[in-house]
Structure 1
Amino acid sequence: MSQLVAAVQPMSCKPLQRTARSGRRTSGVVCQAQQQDPLLLRVARGEEAERTPVWLMRQAGRYMAAFREYSDRLPFRERSETASIAIELSLQPWRSFQTDGVIMFSDILTPLPALGIEFDVIKGKGPLIDNPISSMDQVRGLAPMEDPLSSLPFVHETLSTLRREIDGSGATLLGFVGTPWTLAAYSVEGRADRNCRRTKTMMFNSPGVLHALLDHLTEALIVYVGYQIEAGAQVVQLFDSWAHHLSPEQSAEFSMPYAERIVAATRAKYPHVPIIFHANGGSGKHAQLAACTADVVGLDWECSMAAARQAMGANRTLQGNVDPMVLFGTEDEIRKAVTRCLVEAGPAHHILNVGHGVIEGTPEESVGLFCDLARQSADILKAHGQAPSPKQQQPVAA
């Protein structure tokens, strides 16, 4: 992949400093082009900034009328795997709400067909895998992720075009992948299952098969993350969407070690690219999240930001964690919820987001207000006795 998009390499940065314990970046990293870097990118690196950046998970979705013009007539994979459509859907919320991050419109299951696991997304039912993984022979028969540019060319076209579209705007381009645990669970279940029955049966009866699948997916995702970065992604988020199916002990064996391998391998090759780890249903596992070496920890809405800040420290960059259902509330309720989140997180090391995805039916004006409040965050925090670092200046477009 060395020949891909050399232009996205960082501008003359000094080597990133890391703590001896965790490998995370320390604050105070200096780049010669620091003031030219987008706000969200700087905060994800652990730098202080002039205000709190904002983006939303499931940022492009059916809550937007413009999105429904596509989703009502085209199946999901056609939308996500046709670069011109994926680019348009990625840009719609950015144009409407001026978010600080633009995330590629895609799916966590997108890399699976390159490994030999075909899937479809059925409207109203979600993902469906006709031939789910159930044996070691199937795991051994999976293909490696050798050449994503050939097997997943639309991902490169989508990201590289998005990067060109937003460069100079002050926005940051985000790529994303599912964690090995989440992709393994989908691959074994074949569809969403409230009990994760097939996967947990495998866990308790044939753990070697599950570990072999997780290992294969981890190696594939390391390549896939690098592919996204070389195509133009400036930050990558790891979604552990099925973390809520795991106890802390199960997470420590079947999820976190594999996610950590992706973080370590990506950091070794792309030290300039921050990594966000978001575990849906993971907020109760504070000890594990605190030990996670990703640059940013994404929090779901089932914990308080104050408790997370206390558990993980003032210098840990946190993302989240407003309940997405708040966006169905009154303007006053939205203002109160966002203000509480901002104040509890503090004036530094925070990326405002919802604690899960934006829900279908959410009023677009509520999403707009949510983003507006982030742009007002310096004044909101100042009114509550907090303020961003006065040393930071407004960013200059890259």
Structure 2
Amino acid sequence: MAAPISPQTQAFSPLKNDLLLRAARGEKTERVPVWVMRQAGRYLPEYRQAKGDTKFFATCKDPQLVCELTLQPIRRYDLDAAIIFSDILVIPVAMGLAVANDPGEGPVYADPITCPEDIKRLNPDFDIVSELGYVYEAITLTRQKLEGKVPLFGFTGAPWTLMKFMIENVSAGPNPNKARRFLAEHAEAGHQLLGLLKDAVVRHLVHQVKAGAQIVQVFDSFAGELGPVFFSKFELPVLKQIAREVKEKLQSMNIEPVPMIVFAKDAHFAIEELSKSGYDVVGLDWGAQPLHARKLAGNQVTLQGNMDPVMMFAPKDDIKKAVKEMLNKFGTQRYIANLGHGVLKDTDPDHLGVFIDAIHTYSEDMNAVL
């Protein structure tokens, strides 16, 4: 059997900056790589100008516009990766949930899941290319337009986070505990729904890599709400399966598996388990303590994070000081710098630039004295 090769090497320009991929794989880096969650987004004036009045999902389904939005922060900042502009909730829509409106903050479903019987309404065998082909087309186009400058991220929502949106209709307003209650009352159906979502997530990630994604992240934005017991019982098993199955499917297609990141927000109780779950990188939110996280995770995985996004509103000198403190705690190896969650919409783009540049400057200085 021939050695696995990536389709990107045949169709796209050679990668000029592989710093982030090396860090994800645990290889030595000359400086700390940095990217930012939601770096392609509404805090940028060029984003607002390019998007105009286009509705959110219409934006996601326009590969040309998605490409432009993805490239905007790469033009503005010295970032070490681009992340495709998309949304985690494309999967529930592809599975059959109808969107009642598109307010720009995320969809509100006309028919959320309310009981086990509702699961039968979902179509787990949806034609993924027909339903989500716009994502893959945008990834391929963006890889071409990047011309190898930096690697391109693909991403997905994690099963539990998607399930919470599907049951609680999060974008319509707070409806706390309804999804957790579903797991408590209907454990078997909960496992079933998480399993269906896991299968869809695996297929979605594999197709993103086939289209050109060079690294992928699984966003479990509501992981902490589960607590240690429910997280271990319901979510951790499917997260492990995602990591394993994506890599196995890519290998079966003779495609080199890409690094995978799991970002389980507020699940500090699970850092040790996540570090052994098959992912190359464990992302940390701003509530995690870097030294403690490194102790729990060991040196078997790379850590990512975890500056508090509100620090981007601080004076520039305070941002630089906070970067120094963060780097001193995480170290410069097996580490990818990021915020502890997405860029807030009122962030001053210049302040974010200070954060990004400080990561590179200070980590290069630190490496010089090692």
The alpha carbon displacement at 1:137 in A equals 3.0
Alignment correspondent of 2:220: 240
Structure 1 unaligned regions, length at least 5: 12-33, 388-398
For residues 72 and 16 of structure 2, what CA distance do their matches in structure 1 show?
A: 24
| 1:190 matched to 2:175 | no
SS of residue matched to 1:112: helix
| 1:205 matched to 2:190 | no
Q: 1:308 pairs with 277, 293, 300, which one?
A: 293
Structure 1 counterpart of 2:347, one-letter code: T
Task: Kindly indicate whether the alpha-carbon contact (under 8 Å) linking 2:56 and 2:104 is maintained by their aligned counterparts in 1.
Answer: no
Alignment CA distance shift 1:369-1:125 (3 Å): closer
Task: Kindly indicate whether the alpha-carbon contact (under 8 Å) linking 2:88 and 2:156 is maintained by their aligned counterparts in 1.
Answer: yes
> Alpha-carbon deviations, 1:38-58, whole Å to 9, x = none?
111121122111111110001
Alignment correspondent of 1:349: 334
Q: 2:38 pairs with 50, 58, 70, which one?
A: 58
> Alpha-carbon deviations, 1:272-315, whole Å to 9, x = none?
30000001112343333333321000000002212211221234
The alpha carbon displacement at 1:145 in A equals 4.2
For residues 238 and 190 of structure 2, what CA distance do their matches in structure 1 show?
A: 12
Q: 1:330 pairs with 310, 315, 323, which one?
A: 315
The alpha carbon displacement at 1:104 in A equals 0.5
State how 1:123-272 maps to structure 2 within 5 Å: 123=103, 126-169=106-149, 171-192=150-171, 194=174, 196-270=176-250, 271-272=256-257
Alignment correspondent of 2:283: 298
Task: Kindly indicate whether the alpha-carbon contact (under 8 Å) linking 1:114 and 1:145 is maintained by their aligned counterparts in 2.
Answer: no
For residues 121 and 62 of structure 1, what CA distance do their matches in structure 2 show?
A: 20
For residues 131 and 280 of structure 1, what CA distance do their matches in structure 2 show?
A: 27
Structure 2 unaligned regions, length at least 5: 251-255
For residues 284 and 326 of structure 1, what CA distance do their matches in structure 2 show?
A: 24
For residues 348 and 290 of structure 1, what CA distance do their matches in structure 2 show?
A: 16
> Alpha-carbon deviations, 1:337-377, whole Å to 9, x = none?
11111121112100000000000111110111111122214
Task: Kindly indicate whether the alpha-carbon contact (under 8 Å) linking 2:98 and 2:109 is maintained by their aligned counterparts in 1.
Answer: yes
Alignment correspondent of 1:278: 263
Task: Kindly indicate whether the alpha-carbon contact (under 8 Å) linking 1:130 and 1:190 is maintained by their aligned counterparts in 2.
Answer: no
For residues 162 and 125 of structure 1, what CA distance do their matches in structure 2 show?
A: 24
Percent identity of equivalent pairs = 35
The alpha carbon displacement at 1:329 in A equals 0.4
For residues 286 and 296 of structure 1, what CA distance do their matches in structure 2 show?
A: 11
Q: Return the structure number with greater helix share.
A: 2
Task: Kindly indicate whether the alpha-carbon contact (under 8 Å) linking 1:159 and 1:228 is maintained by their aligned counterparts in 2.
Answer: yes
SS of residue matched to 2:275: helix
| 1:375 matched to 2:360 | yes
Alignment correspondent of 1:114: 94
For residues 198 and 105 of structure 2, what CA distance do their matches in structure 1 show?
A: 27
SS of residue matched to 1:111: helix
Task: Kindly indicate whether the alpha-carbon contact (under 8 Å) linking 1:10 and 1:272 is maintained by their aligned counterparts in 2.
Answer: no
For residues 6 and 350 of structure 1, what CA distance do their matches in structure 2 show?
A: 25
Q: 1:101 pairs with 57, 77, 81, which one?
A: 81
SS of residue matched to 2:7: helix
SS of residue matched to 2:268: coil
Alignment correspondent of 2:253: none
RMSD: 2.3
Alignment correspondent of 1:366: 351
For residues 376 and 86 of structure 1, what CA distance do their matches in structure 2 show?
A: 31
Task: Kindly indicate whether the alpha-carbon contact (under 8 Å) linking 1:129 and 1:191 is maintained by their aligned counterparts in 2.
Answer: no
The alpha carbon displacement at 1:382 in A equals 4.1
Structure 2 counterpart of 1:275, one-letter code: M
Task: Kindly indicate whether the alpha-carbon contact (under 8 Å) linking 1:185 and 1:196 is maintained by their aligned counterparts in 2.
Answer: no
The alpha carbon displacement at 1:36 in A equals 6.1
Structure 2 counterpart of 1:267, one-letter code: K
SS of residue matched to 2:320: helix
Alignment correspondent of 1:8: 8
